[in-house]
Amino acid sequence: MDTSQFIQRDETCWEIQPKGAMRVPAIIYADAQLLQDMDQKVYEQLTNVATLPGIVEAAYAMPDAHWGYGFPIGGVAAFDPDQGGVVSAGGVGFDISCGVRTLLTGLNIAELQPHKQALADALYRKVPAGVGSKGKIHLNHKAMHGMLTGGAQWALDQGYGEPQDLERIEEHGCMAGAESHYVTPRARERQKDEMGTLGSGNHYLEVQRVAEIFDQNVAKTFGLRVDDMVISIHCGSRGLGHQIGTEFLKEMVMSAAQYQIVLPDRELACAPLNSPLGKHYLGAMRAGINCALANRQIITHLTRQAVATLFPNIHLGLLYDVSHNTCKLEQHMIDGQRKSLFVHRKGATRAFGPGHPDLPTVYKEVGQPVLIGGSMGTSSYVLCGTKESEQRAFSSACHGAGRAMSRTQASKQWQGRTLVDKLAAQGIIIRSPSMRGVAEEAPLAYKDVGAVVDIADRAGLARKVARLEPVICIKG
């Protein structure tokens, strides 16, 4: 991308001033190199977002931004319902509430080392992964309704997990306002056998070693020490979320003229937040959030069972669970006034700072854990929210490395078996039902997650706490 298109506000902040139909500026957080490496489509998509009705302050892109459907992945935008603000299915993404959950094991690397292969096998057997993967849970109509409205709380009521888990899950494990009757029979059909499964793409279950601590005080609060082992789960709402997104995008495209919305790109299809269609989408999307929260809760239960076969006396406590594909009603300061805004985060992680009322008591002094997944075979990071992030981008941060090339390009350049063998030589065990899927997720198919996280830290979006290195990776 050509940096001359921007005004550089500081070392990490690049602004596109409003022009044409843009209602607000567009801002990208990056350094010069990351910005140059971004696809020009990020520029086009972000400036298109800035034209949408009711957008507030600016359209933002995180350091891991890349081309997406409608919104760029890594895009953040807030809309005021009192100013004709809209909700966009493309601004949430197809994998509604895709997110990361990290568990503390109490083990260190020396204790795990003799059991690495056995644990990899146990996790791979216990947690289904891959395209169209099915679990052992079958949801009838009543159970489906309970899951869509209850989220992780429903899963807990079915015996999956522990009561204390809920305090360390976004929304306490249950997204209010879910309306399951707006989830179609086709979406339900796709999900009825997929609970407790990872799916495919960049989703994973990873056993990780705490390799480096950047902030000792916050790391202690989070329960992290060098050489400790943690387990991270990255997945979302599976087929149900995708179906919700697909169906409502079609409705929004067809209804744009009715609502007098001029779309610069059909993929940016949206509806006024106060319209029937906008409210219907919000109800279905919130049900999709609950689906993802329930899914990660069930996978947590399966993970605990697998680990217990080798380490029966340890307890896997929850560090945190946070999503990065959502639209949520939040309170933010705009021009000195507190406003209720609908914040879209697509491939961007909520990052509330210290003192925020929605944080668990244990994290109120240090800020929210921000869980950043790396690409296969590379580091992941734990960050924490900052007070500055409120002013920088509605308390938002990056969500991962961000793709540097398409899955098709990656599968042509690398072979899955070769990658598995190469990573094994580095001490990283990969288990996957698809070697093509492994090739698509090759480490070099993504940006350098360390560089992305450094920008997030320097920009004040979130502060670095710890770096995690992969030891075992279960992939779809």
Would you state the pLDDT for residue 352? 98
pLDDT higher than 90, residue 133: no
Would you state the pLDDT for residue 404? 86
Q: For 290-345, write each residue's pLDDT tens digit.
A: 999 999 999 999 999 999 999 999 999 999 999 999 999 999 999 999 999 999 99
pLDDT higher than 90, residue 71: yes
Q: Is 401 annotated as a binding residue?
A: yes
Band the pLDDT of 426: cuts 50, 70, 90.
very high
Q: Is 376 annotated as a binding residue?
A: yes
Would you state the pLDDT for residue 402? 82
Would you state the pLDDT for residue 223? 98
Q: Is 406 annotated as a binding residue?
A: no
Would you state the pLDDT for residue 453? 98
Contacts of 251 (CB under 8 A, 6+ apart): 271, 277, 281
Residues 294 and 178: beta-carbon distance below 8 Å: no
Band the pLDDT of 81: cuts 50, 70, 90.
very high
Alpha-carbon distance of 176 to 165, in angstroms, equals 18
Contacts of 336 (CB under 8 A, 6+ apart): none
Would you state the pLDDT for residue 17? 97
**Read out DSSP for 223-284?**
T--TTEEEEEEEE--HHHHHHHHHHHHHHHHHHTTTTTPPPSSGGG-EEETTSHHHHHHHHH
Band the pLDDT of 154: cuts 50, 70, 90.
very high
pLDDT higher than 90, residue 360: yes
The whole-number average pLDDT for the span 174-181 is 98
Residues 50 and 234: beta-carbon distance below 8 Å: no
DSSP state of 446: B
The whole-number average pLDDT for the span 25-47 is 96
pLDDT higher than 90, residue 403: no
Phi, psi of 353, deg, nearest 5? -85, 180
Q: Is 335 annotated as a binding residue?
A: no
Q: Is 317 annotated as a binding residue?
A: no
Q: Is 290 annotated as a binding residue?
A: no
Would you state the pLDDT for residue 130? 81
Question: Token pair 């169906």 is at which residue?
Answer: 247
Alpha-carbon distance of 208 to 469, in angstroms, equals 5
Would you state the pLDDT for residue 363? 98
Q: Is 124 annotated as a binding residue?
A: no
pLDDT higher than 90, residue 3: no
Contacts of 100 (CB under 8 A, 6+ apart): 232, 233, 234, 321, 322, 324, 371, 372, 373
pLDDT higher than 90, residue 132: no
Q: Is 245 annotated as a binding residue?
A: no
Q: Which sequence positions are flagged as catalytic? A: 399
Between the two ends of the chain, the Cα-to-Cα distance in Å is 32
Alpha-carbon distance of 164 to 176, in angstroms, equals 19
The whole-number average pLDDT for the span 16-41 is 96
Q: Is 204 annotated as a binding residue?
A: yes
The whole-number average pLDDT for the span 448-470 is 97
Would you state the pLDDT for residue 273? 98
Q: Is 375 annotated as a binding residue?
A: yes
Would you state the pLDDT for residue 364? 97
Band the pLDDT of 476: cuts 50, 70, 90.
confident
The whole-number average pLDDT for the span 366-381 is 96
Q: Output the pTM of the full model.
A: 0.97
Band the pLDDT of 447: cuts 50, 70, 90.
confident
Tokens of 399: 């969500």
pLDDT higher than 90, residue 163: yes
Cα maximum dimension of the chain: 64
Would you state the pLDDT for residue 303? 98
Mean pLDDT of the chain: 96
The whole-number average pLDDT for the span 98-103 is 98
User: In what side-by-side order are the strands of the sheet with 337-346?
Assistant: 7-10, 13-16, 26-29, 55-66, 73-79, 337-346, 325-334
